[in-house]
Amino acid sequence: MVYFILKRMIQSVFVMLAVAFLAFSLFRFVGDPVSQMTGVETSVADQERLREDLGLNDPFVYQFVRFTGDMFKGDFGYSYRTRQPVADMIASRIPATLELGVVALIISLLVGVPAGVYTALRPRGALTQAILMTTLVGVSIPTFVIGIMLIFIFGVQLGWLPTFGRGGTVQIGSWESSLFTIDGWRALLLPAITLGVYQLTLTMRLVRAEMMEVMRSDYIRFAMARGVPMRRLHYRHALANTMVPVITIIGLQFGGVIAFSIVTESVFQWPGMGLLFLESIRFVDIPVMGVYLVVIAFFFVLVNLVVDLLYVAIDPRLRISDVS
């Protein structure tokens, strides 16, 4: 068990290093950092000095090690566009994106898992067919179209909910949250649904497929043959076994949620990391792009480590290995 977790951690470190290398290569090779940081009026000598100061003349490996080390210390460099520290820019945007992503994920789980269970247990029901058809259309509508439709219906036609921005926020330490005001929740609702719908359909289909697979397994048939009460059979036996693979995929999907928040944030002008990333792409603001990458990969790796721990908690085969 310890070995399993350690192995996963080492793999995570590998993924992070690879992403850091990607970010570093971006910074180093896409355009010339020095000419980006200086204006046309800077002399060649000054440029050369800056190059030396930045360590750009050092050996490649050495530069990468220093780059990674700086990241560890929280020093992410400066934006080409705003000349501000990238760390501050990203940090101020993290709360908005995380709140959006987590609420969207919760919506997708709260609806997706029960719907998946229902459609798996009643594969031939009329409601099942209706749900399946709806979700098929659901995965086929691009996130931005869903956003536009929600804005059109609830914002423009009905005028019930705001169509952009975060609404009222509350400052808790350095965390700016929209979860503590009604206004904030009203603003959060449409973007979160937009982001959640796609994940929801994926979650539902996955739960359904896995659950149907489990329902066919020998141990479910044996439990059925022993007359284990149906409710217990479905939830204690089948659902628990379904969740083992489902949890893995949901962990993988979290990356998708964060990535698609780029689109949602753009549609709703939600001031999160995604919007920042889009702006930095438009202005070829390489340091921000690179750091955004690293931050996203870090969240992804973190969530997947948590998933591994959950895995160990659910599945005794990973916890206890002795066979006697």
Partner 1 sequence: MIAFLKKYEGLWLFVHSPAAIIATFVAALIFLGALFAPWIALVNPYDLASFSLFDGLLPPAWEDGANPKFLLGTDDQGRDMISSILYGARLSLVIGISALTIAAVIGVGLGLAAGYYGGRFDAIVMRIADVQLALPAILTALLIDGIARGILPAAIQQDLRVAVLTLAIALSLWVNFARTARASTFVQMNKEYVQAAIMMGQRPMRVMFVHILPNILGPLLVILTVDLASAILLEATLSFLGIGLPADSPSLGTLIRIGMQFLLSGEWWILWIPTLFLVALVVSINVLGDFLRDIFNPRLR
Partner 2 sequence: MLTIKDLSVKFPSRFGDFTAIEDVDMSIKPGEIHGLVGESGAGKSTVGAAVIGLLQAPGYVAHGTLTLGDTDLRSLTPVQAHKVRGDRISMIFQDPQTSLNPLMTIEDQLIETIQAHSDVSESAARKRAVDLLEEIGIKNAAQRIKAYPHQFSGGMRQRVVIALAISTDPELIIADEPTTALDVAVQSQVLDLIQRLAKERQIAFMLITHDIGVIAQVADRVTVMRKGRVMESGDTAQVLGAPEHPYTKALMDAVPPLDRKLDRFRVPDTDGALPTQGDVAENWLLEGDQHERTGLSLENLTVQFLGPRTSFFHKPPPHVALDNVTLKIKPGSIMGLVGESGSGKSTLAKAITGLVSPNSGTMMLGDTELPFGKSRNRHHPSRQLVQMVFQDPYSSLNSRHRIGDILAEPLWFYGFVKDAKEREKLAASMLSLVGMQPDAITKFPHQFSGGQRQRIAVARALLARPRFLICDEPTSALDVSIQAEILNLLKDLQSKFGLTILFISHNLAVVRQMADETAVLRNGKIEEVGETHTVYTAPKAEYTKTLLELTPVMPSSWES
- Measured from the CB atom, the residue of 3 and 72 that comes closer to partner 2 is 3
Q: By CB under 8 A, tell whether 133 contacts partner 1.
A: yes
Does 245 bind partner 1 (CB under 8 A)? Our answer is no
Phi, psi (5° rounding) for residue 271? -75, 65
Q: Which string of x and - marks every residue 145-174 that binds partner 1 (by CB under 8 A)?
A: x--x--xx---x------------------
- Ramachandran angles phi, psi of 176, nearest 5°: -95, 110
Q: Which does 106 bind (CB under 5 to 8 A by kind): partner 2, partner 1, none?
A: none
- To partner 2, the closest distance from the beta carbon of 230 in angstroms equals 7
Nearer to partner 1, 54 or 212 (CB): 212
Q: Looking only at residues 285 through 304 of this chain, which bind partner 1 when binding is defined by CB under 8 A?
A: 286, 289, 293, 296-297, 300-301
Secondary structure in 3-state letters for the chain: CHHHHHHHHHHHHHHHHHHHHHHHHHHHHCCCHHHHHCCCCCCHHHHHHHHHHCCCCCCHHHHHHHHHHHHHCCCCCECCCCCCEHHHHHHHHHHHHHHHHHHHHHHHHHHHHHHHHHHHHCCCCHHHHHHHHHHHHHHHCCHHHHHHHHHHHHHHHCCCCCCCCCCCCEEECCEEECCCCHHHHHHHHHHHHHHHHHHHHHHHHHHHHHHHHHHCCHHHHHHHHCCCCHHHHHHHHHHHHHHHHHHHHHHHHHHHHHHHHHHHHHHHCCCCHHHHHHHHHHCCCHHHHHHHHHHHHHHHHHHHHHHHHHHHHHCHHHHCCCCC
Q: Which is nearer to partner 2, 189 or 223 (CB)?
A: 223
Q: Whole-angstrom Cα distance, residue 307 to residue 288?
A: 28
State in angstroms the smallest separation of the CB of 314 from partner 1.
22
Nearer to partner 2, 49 or 236 (CB): 236
| Residue 116 and residue 237 in contact, taking contact as beta carbons nearer than 8 Å | no
Residue 252 engages partner 1 in binding (rule: CB under 8 A): yes
Residue 92 is a binding residue for partner 1 (CB under 8 A): no
Considering CB distances under 5 to 8 angstroms, the limit depending on partner class, which of partner 1, partner 2, none binds residue 76? none
Q: Are 289 and 30 in contact (CB under 8 A)?
A: no
Closest CA to 147 of 258, 265, 255, 253: 265
Find out whether 33 and 304 touch, Cβ atoms under 8 Å: no
> Which partner from the list partner 1, partner 2, none does 144 bind, CB cut-off 5 to 8 Å by kind?
partner 1
Site string for partner 2, 262-301 (x = CB under 8 A): ----------------------------------------
Cβ 180 to partner 1, closest distance in Å? 30
Asked if 136 interacts with partner 1 (CB under 8 A), we say yes
Question: Mask 211-250, x = binds partner 2 (CB under 8 A)?
Answer: ------xxx-xxxxxxxxxx-x---xx--xx--x------
Given 50, 209, 228, 314, the residue binding partner 1 (CB under 8 A): 209
Which residues are at the interface with partner 1 (CB under 8 A)? Answer: 11, 14-15, 18-19, 22, 26, 30-31, 133, 136-137, 139-145, 148, 151-152, 156, 209, 212-213, 216, 252, 255-256, 258-260, 262-263, 266, 277-278, 280-282, 284, 286, 289, 293, 296-297, 300-301
Which residues are at the interface with partner 2 (CB under 8 A)? Answer: 2-3, 6, 217-219, 221-230, 232, 236-237, 240-241, 244, 314-317, 320-324
